[in-house]
Homo-oligomer: A and B are copies of this chain.
Amino acid sequence: MAGKLTQNEKFERDLLRGSLDLMVLSVLADESHYGYSIQKRLSAASMGKVKLPAGTLYPLLHRLETDKLIRSRWEESTGRKRKWYELTAKGKKRLKVQVSQWHQYAQCVTNLVNGKGAQPKPSG
């Protein structure tokens, strides 16, 4: 019954792992969301590439809330209870720092895989 990931899928998943917090925080930067809508937004924004399972998302959200980076409130409409999340001031600050770190990191890895990792010869 498998569920076994191919090596390609495994790599993509590993890549994602390092920046899940950043991505969720980024989604919440635009506007408030509830868990399920974060899933959908992330999937849409990544053109289907990011599929955050519920078993990953909710514990992650709880961790972010414990760290006071986001806060939540329950809200009901049409009989549906949803737990809405928004960034705290601390969360906004952290996001800003992480975005900056992301750009540096991404540039660094990109240079490395392109064989330009801080080598002594800028000429040519």
A15 & B112 in contact (Cβ 8 Å cutoff): no
B45 & A101 in contact (Cβ 8 Å cutoff): no
Q: Mark A30-49, 1 if CB is under 8 A from B, else 0.
A: 10000000000110111101
Q: How far apart sit A47 and B14, CA to CA, in the bound complex (Å)?
A: 23
Tally chain A residues at the interface, Cβ within 8 Å.
Answer: 46
| A88 in the interface (beta carbon within 8 A) | no
* Ranked 3 nearest A-B pairs via Cβ: A45-B117, A18-B18, A15-B18
Interface residues of A (CB under 8 A from B): 7-8, 11-12, 14-19, 21-23, 26-27, 29-30, 41-42, 44-47, 49-50, 67, 94, 97-99, 101-106, 108-113, 115, 117-119
